[in-house]
Amino acid sequence: MTATASPAAPGMKLYVGVWLGLLVIVAAEVALTYGGLSEGSLLAALLVLAVIEAAIALMYFMHLRYERRLLFWSLIPALVFVLLMLNHVWRDAARMIILSPHGP
Amino acid sequence: MSDSQMSLAMGHGAMIEESPYGIESKKLVMWLFIIADAATFGALLFGYGYLRAGSPNWTRPFTFAPTIINGIVMTFVLLTSSLTMLGAVGAAKAGQREATGRWLGATIGLGVVFAALHLREWFKMFAEGWSPSANPEGGSVLFGASFFGITGLHLLHVIGGVVAMTVVALMFKRGRLTPAHIETTGLYWHFVDLVWMFVFPLVYLMNAR
């Protein structure tokens, strides 16, 4: 048996809609930057929007939504796990602040 | 011709199983590369976050004009290049060779514009005294190291993508490549765009004045 072709892709109309949606998210990110938020709140908001953008691009532009589910589950959870594990660095960053010659 | 079809033609049909992912090997390999590269960029961005969180004298030098405006334009250019890449993939699958060339040409052009805008920004920063080891505002030099490191690696991916797309476009035009090659190249280009969706907010917007 041969490797099957990818399922039919959506048309340009959907892609243009997705593109416009991504531009709206970028505009929201810029607006939030100058919205007077604290640094922590801004970081959280930008991260959430960036993840939403990435998910939309992954699913529609990169066609992952239309591929077999096995491809998604083989690729994405492993990457998410790696990125979550990288969060272990933050305690050391807090220690660096305390040890810094410029003071906390 | 897919890997399975070629193996069948060579008489090895009994040994070939359908890919469990339902895609050709080159597409699967590109996905695997993308996941690995995403982890690399993720590590770089976490490293930048770590240095920033651990530096009490971090500088936030980016003014709205011209830096953030330039960043917005670069984001628009890259997002649009992803759209034109999708046009190229669609045209290739529909057997429209000339249209595929035009869409790919547009994507390559937008990639070159992005790289040019980025390099112009870099040289402006160099002229102001910024470098991977210098901070003209007296704050942490780690700002320059992380900024030029992250944006430099991304720029390298953009330039590599432009070169790859040019080669693929020329070979497709000569009939030596298939629409699957255009699609696989498109996956890489969308990934470059996807990385920028994190670089722009985390490196540019978080360092806006």
In one-letter notation, the amino acid at residue B107 is T
| CA-based nearest distance B205→chain A, Å | 6
Residue among A34, A58, A20, A51 nearest B76 (CA) = A20
pLDDT in tens, A10-26: 789 999 999 999 999 99
> Do A92 and A60 belong together in one domain?
no
Residues of A in contact with B46 (CB under 8 A): 83, 86-87, 89
* B208 three-state secondary structure: strand
Q: Residue A103's pLDDT is what?
A: 63
Q: Is residue A44 part of a domain?
A: yes
Q: What are phi and psi of B78, to 5 degrees?
A: -70, -40
The fold of the B24-207 domain, in CATH, is: Four Helix Bundle (Hemerythrin (Met), subunit A) (1.20.120)
Report how far apart, in Å, the C-alpha atoms of B198 and of each of B46, B125, B158, B166, B191 are.
11, 21, 15, 26, 11
Q: Is residue A39 part of a domain?
A: yes
Confidence of residue A101 (pLDDT cuts 50, 70, 90): confident
Does residue A41 sit at the B interface (CB-CB below 8 Å)? no
Domain count within chain A: 2
> Do A61 and A75 belong together in one domain?
no
> Do A55 and A77 belong together in one domain?
no
- Which residues lie below 8 Å from residue B60, measured CB to CB, with a gap of 6+? B206, B207, B208, B209
Does residue A38 sit at the B interface (CB-CB below 8 Å)? no
- The alpha carbon of B42 is separated from its chain's Cα centroid by a whole number of angstroms, namely 14
Q: Print the domain residue range for A95.
A: 68-104
- The alpha carbon of A10 is separated from its chain's Cα centroid by a whole number of angstroms, namely 22
Does residue A6 sit at the B interface (CB-CB below 8 Å)? yes
Residues B182-208 have a mean pLDDT of 97
Compute the mean pLDDT over every residue in chain A, rounded to the nearest whole number. 89
pLDDT in tens, B20-49: 898 999 999 999 999 999 999 999 999 999
Confidence of residue A6 (pLDDT cuts 50, 70, 90): very low
For chains A and B, CB pairs below 8 A equal 159
Q: How far apart are CA B65 and CA B44, in angstroms?
A: 27
- Which residues lie below 8 Å from residue B173, measured CB to CB, with a gap of 6+? B97, B101
Percent of chain B surpassing pLDDT 90: 86
Q: How far apart are CA A56 and CA B157, in angstroms?
A: 21
| CA-based nearest distance A84→chain B, Å | 10
Provide the whole-model pTM: 0.90
**pLDDT surpasses 80 at B13:** no
Q: Is residue A3 part of a domain?
A: no
- Which residues lie below 8 Å from residue B108, measured CB to CB, with a gap of 6+? B162, B165, B166, B169
> Do A40 and A76 belong together in one domain?
no
Does residue B55 sit at the A interface (CB-CB below 8 Å)? yes
Q: What are phi and psi of B131, to 5 degrees?
A: -160, 175
> Do A16 and A62 belong together in one domain?
yes
> Do A61 and A102 belong together in one domain?
no
Q: What are phi and psi of B150, to 5 degrees?
A: -70, -50
Q: Is residue A4 part of a domain?
A: no
CA angle B63–B66–B67, rounded 5-degree value: 60
> Do A56 and A74 belong together in one domain?
no
Dihedral sign, CA of B164, B166, B169, B172?
Answer: negative
Contact flag B90-A9 (C-beta cutoff 8 Å): yes
Q: Is residue A5 part of a domain?
A: no
Of B18, B75, B86, the CB nearest to A26: B75
What is the ipTM for the molecules in this complex?
0.88
Q: Residue B19's pLDDT is what?
A: 83
Contact flag B190-A67 (C-beta cutoff 8 Å): no
